[in-house]
Each structure stands twice: as C-alpha cells, then as structure tokens.
Structure 1
Amino acid sequence: MAEAGYRRSAGSARGQARQQELLERVADDLAVNGLVDFSLRRAARAAGTTHKVLLYHFESVDDLLAQAILRLRGQRIESAFAAAARLPTLAARVGALWTTLAGEQSRVLDQAIGLVMYDPVRYAELGRSASRDYLPTLLALCPEAWSEERKREVSELILATLRGFLVAWLTGGDTVGVEAGFKALFRALEREEADGL
C-alpha cells in the first residue's frame, strides 16, 4: 500500500511510459547488484529519482520489487526460448534452457526464490507466477505431436527438476551432482521422446 499523501499514476500514456522507464532502471540495478540490501532508497538512486516519485508510480516497495523481478524473468524466458527453440530434440532444448537459466541474470532471480521460501506469505505470488511464466515456454518446447496432457506432465517434470538443480548449484556449488542429474534427465527425455514417435 502506498504511503499516505502519495497517489499512484492514473494510467495515462505518459505516466505509463515513465513507470516503465523507472522500472527498467530498477531492474537493471537488480540484475547487477542482486536483492541484497534492496530498498526504496536504493531503487530511487538507481532510477535517478526520489522515493516519492517511485511511490507515485508503484503501490509500494514490494510492488516495485515484484515488477522488476517479473521484468527480468520475462527477459530470461525470452532468451531461453530463443536459444532452445531451434534445437532438434527436447533434451537438447532443455540443455540450452539450462545454460540460459544459469547465466548472468540467474543470481537475482534465484535470490527471488529465496524470498519466497523466507517469507512465503509476503512473496507467495512471486513463487506462483514463476510456474505460470515458465510453463508456456516448456510446453512450446515439447514435440508438437504429443497430447496436451503429456506435454504438461513432462513440462512440470522439467520445471521441478531444473529448480532442484538451481538450488543444489546455488546453495552448495554442487556442479558434479548437477551434471550427473542432467545426464539422467537427458536420458529420460530422450526415452520419452523416442516413445512418443
């Protein structure tokens, strides 16, 4: 909720353009510096404005943070799909997807998963929206001939597995375990794809 005395942008084209400009600057700062010590004042410095201006355009610091994370997530999903879509097999597509997920923007987005675990009430929507955001891309990477149910099942498996790999990699630096897990995942996906032909 915005502080008393501030009013949010009424949604004019000019107000929306300004809001997107501010959001882009804050998201750029998050991509470089991560979520540690994120505050309204830091966001204002990054955006080149005051905290009052940010509260004019966003409901609260949580709203601003969530929108910036969603922007970064959207960019990562677009990059992942572009890298994966042109490859010939589902296993290869998932490999390319992982390379993007573990790339430059992974730190802040994976810190966001930590927020969800740390304060599930306050940040629950960030966790729920992650599945909604990633699943369409995974569904699109599945073979076209598969039924919608099969695409959904395999996509959910991939999503859960990649999340587990990210947690293992980020919290323990377990690259050996992640590599071993990927070999097993690739074999499973290759069998799944072969069974579907």
Structure 2
Amino acid sequence: MDEDGRPAYRRSTGSRRGEARRQELLARVTDDLAANGLVDFSLRRAARAAGTTHKVLLYHFDGVDDLLTQAILALRDRRIDGALAASGAVPDTLSARVRAVWPVLVGEESRVLDQAIGLTMYDPERYAELGRGASQQYLPTLVGLCPPDWSDARKAEVAQLVLATLRGFLIHRATGGDPAGIDAGFAALTRALDREEAAG
C-alpha cells in the first residue's frame, strides 16, 4: 500500500478476537490523534502510535482514510459521553443542559474535531463522510436534551438549531474569533432556548 491509503491487504472481519484487536489499535491511534492533531497524520505515524506496523493496520482497516474516519468517530463518541455526563448533572431545562455541554465541546478534543470539519470543507469529495457523520452522531444527543413532552418534530428542529449555532461558535473560536463575542452569542442562544421552552 502507498501513502495515499490504498489498501493492499485484506481487512480483518468476523472474529471476536479480531474485533478486539481492531478496537485496541483504534484506541491507541485515537489517543495519538487527540494529542497531536491531524497535521501530518499518516499510516506510518498511526502504526508508531499503535505500536505495530502499517501492514497490521491495513489488515484491520481499509486504508488511512478509513482509519482516520474511525478515529474521528471515536473522538466524537468521547465528546458525546462527556456531554451526556455533564448535562445529566444540571437542572432540568434545555438551556441549562446546553450551558453544561459547552465546556465539554471546547475541551481537549475540540482542536482535532475542528480540524476534521476543516478537512470536510477543504476536500468534500474525499472527506464528506466526516461532515455527515458529525450531524448523525451529535443530533440524537441534542434531541435527548430537549424536554420529553415536545413533539419529535419540534425536538428535531431545535436540535438542528443548537447544532448549527454551536458549530458556528466552535469554528469562530478555532479561527481566532472574539471570545467576548462568542460568549455574548452563546448567552443569546440560551435566552432563545429559555423562550422556546417557556412557549410550552
């Protein structure tokens, strides 16, 4: 296989032992990605981080793009787990839950996940799944933060609003945006959510 990520070996499938090994390798690569970001990510760097060879990684993954995508998904899952833990420890209002989630979103995984969104915009043909996957991963969590008595349609609408707004804040923050302006915008979002919830 070359550095473009074209697989030259058969990917492992099926066995419980093979899947356990795959998850172990993925966790190591994900830790490296969280610490060092996407710049210069390659199959050889991933192999060093995993303590194995690039041939072993190619046995378990369909090339460098598949490995990168799986690691990004794993980082998002970590972020979602943190968000759920934070939101579960606050009063039972949507705005309070969103306020609790925000520090998790700007935590240590933020830099890498923002870079992943940048890849999606830079090369949508190659990395479109990273962008689509983000919405698919985050929206169910945001729907779950909404009041349980809302209709499914209303929950979906508000979740889309929150996702798009928070993503905008994150991109603005990552590109050197004004922190005071982001704080003011976030406060405006939570006031809007309070009004939405008060509307019944």
The amino acid of 2:53's aligned partner reads: T
Q: Distance in 2 between matches of 1:55 and 1:40?
A: 9
Q: Distance in 2 between matches of 1:41 and 1:101?
A: 29
- Any conservation in 2 of the 1:58–1:64 contact (CA below 8 Å)? yes
Q: Distance in 2 between matches of 1:71 and 1:163?
A: 18
Q: Distance in 2 between matches of 1:83 and 1:9?
A: 36
Q: Distance in 1 between matches of 2:181 and 2:13?
A: 51
The residue number in structure 1 matching 2:197 is 193
Q: Distance in 2 between matches of 1:117 and 1:137?
A: 24
- How far did residue 126 of structure 1 move? 0.8
Deviations 1:3-44 (A, max 9, x none): 33x111132111111111100000000010011110000000
The amino acid of 1:117's aligned partner reads: M
Deviations 1:120-147 (A, max 9, x none): 0101011001111101101110011111
The amino acid of 1:63's aligned partner reads: D
Matching of residue 17 in structure 1 with residue 5 in structure 2: no
Match of 1:80 among 78, 83, 92: 83
Match of 1:146 among 146, 150, 165: 150
Identity of aligned residues (%): 71
Q: Distance in 2 between matches of 1:85 and 1:143?
A: 13
Deviations 1:76-131 (A, max 9, x none): 10110110133221111111111100011111111110110111010101100111
RMSD: 1.1
Q: Distance in 2 between matches of 1:9 and 1:187?
A: 50
- How far did residue 177 of structure 1 move? 1.2
Q: Structure 2: which 5+ runs fail to align?
A: none
Match of 1:46 among 16, 38, 49: 49
The residue number in structure 2 matching 1:107 is 111
Deviations 1:34-67 (A, max 9, x none): 1111000000000000101100110110000000
Give the ranges of 4+ consecutive aligned residues of structure 1 lying more than 4 Å apart after TM superposition: none
Q: Distance in 1 between matches of 2:25 and 2:63?
A: 14
The residue number in structure 2 matching 1:96 is 100
Match of 2:179 among 166, 175, 196: 175
The residue number in structure 2 matching 1:118 is 122
Q: Structure 1: which 5+ runs fail to align?
A: none
Q: Distance in 2 between matches of 1:20 and 1:185?
A: 38
Instruction: Give the SS at the match of 2:183.
Output: helix
TM-score (norm 1): 0.96
Q: Distance in 1 between matches of 2:6 and 2:52?
A: 17
Matching of residue 37 in structure 1 with residue 40 in structure 2: yes
